């Protein structure tokens, strides 16, 4: 039977969705990510999980690194350097099928874009979790940029001499507003906040938001600082792209309206008047955005 496949290559597992020709998800598969030997087994293992699918209409693959053309320019989490993903994958698959390759956050952005349906104007997807990233869809097409780095919102520099970022710079959005940065700041505040229930047990993002909802001052302050940083960064994105909508995904964004309304408030306080009323929406696909986007990217290619 004719099938599309959407693949999301992650640091711990490769998620695979098998879809019918209309894009309905029929089946999920998962392959552990083998990062030994510079990740040389990852694509062979993934292709190996598709051998029973005899009539492939197309395969979309999202990879955690910048993509230009058919090439990934390295993926540190996987041990990958620069190489042609399409060529390698087709070699492992042993047959000719249409392939779409994109950055994983870009695939997720495209999946959400298709899910939202009919958004006119630039569509901006931002994930807030341990890392901050995202993707941009312009005129119905994923926008990669010249270096494959469009939508890397996490490394917009927003705080001079701010906390150190994994990329080596200081004061990146991710280093200020990512999940680890939030936990670090909250821990510091809790030293002075003797009565906070958050002092007992491990600090998680969920506990932080639950405590904030119950009025915990340290948790509220941490979340407001984060919302301020995100709002400011998004005002810069709006000044560049003038989007129709900002869609929020990722672990931290699961806190929902409580968080989004605060980001929105911070955004409105600094955004250029003309762009102040852009829509803020929660993502619809959760962790499945990557496999859906990969499927849609190959289904709508060419």
Listed ranges 21-29, 83-91, 151-159, 277-285: which one lies at the site for Zn ion (CB under 5 A): 151-159
Contact 173, 153 (CB under 8 A): yes
Options 17-25, 35-43, 149-157, 260-268: segment touching Zn ion (CB under 5 A): 149-157
Rule CB under 5 A: say whether 167 interacts with Zn ion.
yes
| Segment contacting Zn ion by CB under 5 A, of 34-42, 131-139, 154-162, 187-195 | 154-162
CB of 133 to Zn ion, least distance (A): 11
Report, in Å, the least distance between residue 174 CB and Zn ion: 6
Which of these segments, 13-21, 23-31, 150-158, 189-197, binds Zn ion (CB under 5 A)? 150-158
Does residue 101 belong to the site contacting Zn ion (CB under 5 A)?
no
**Residue in 114, 155, 189, 232 binding Zn ion, rule: CB under 5 A:** 155
* 157 vs 196 by CB, closer to Zn ion: 157
- Residue 172 as a binder of Zn ion (CB under 5 A): the answer is yes
Q: Applying CB under 5 A, does 176 fall inside the site for Zn ion?
A: no
Q: Kindly tell me which of 9 and 172 has the beta carbon lying closer to Zn ion.
A: 172
Closer residue to Zn ion in complex, CB, 3/155:
155
> Interface with Zn ion by CB under 5 A: which residues?
155, 165, 167, 169, 172
């Amino acid at each position: 039977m004719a099938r599309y496949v959407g693949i999301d290559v992650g640091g711990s597992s490769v998620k695979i969705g098998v879809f019918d020709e209309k894009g309905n998800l029929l089946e999920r598969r998962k392959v552990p990510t083998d990062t030994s030997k510079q990740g040389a087994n990852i694509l062979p293992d993934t292709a190996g999980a598709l051998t029973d699918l005899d009539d492939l209409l197309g395969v979309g693959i999202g990879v955690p690194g910048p993509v230009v053309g058919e090439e990934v320019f390295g993926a540190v989490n996987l041990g990958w350097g620069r190489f042609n993903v399409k060529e390698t994958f087709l070699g492992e698959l042993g047959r000719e099928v249409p392939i779409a390759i994109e950055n994983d956050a870009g695939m997720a952005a495209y999946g959400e874009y298709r899910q939202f349906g009919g958004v006119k104007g630039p569509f901006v997807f931002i994930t807030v979790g341990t890392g901050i990233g995202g993707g941009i869809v312009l005129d119905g097409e994923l926008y990669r940029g010249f270096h494959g780095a469009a939508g890397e919102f996490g490394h917009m520099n927003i705080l001079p001499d701010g906390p150190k970022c994994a990329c080596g710079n200081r004061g990146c959005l991710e280093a200020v507003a990512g999940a680890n940065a939030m936990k670090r700041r909250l821990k510091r505040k809790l030293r002075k906040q003797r009565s906070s229930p958050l002092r007992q047990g491990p600090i998680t993002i969920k506990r932080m938001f639950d405590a904030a909802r119950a009025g915990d001052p340290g948790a509220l302050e941490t979340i407001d600082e984060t919302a301020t940083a995100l709002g400011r960064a998004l005002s810069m994105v709006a000044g560049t792209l003038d989007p129709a909508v900002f869609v929020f995904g990722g672990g931290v964004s699961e806190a929902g309206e409580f968080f989004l309304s605060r980001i929105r408030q911070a955004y409105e306080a600094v955004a250029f008047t003309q762009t102040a009323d852009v829509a803020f929406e929660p993502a619809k696909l959760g962790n499945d955005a990557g496999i859906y986007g990969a499927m849609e990217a190959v289904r709508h290619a060419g």
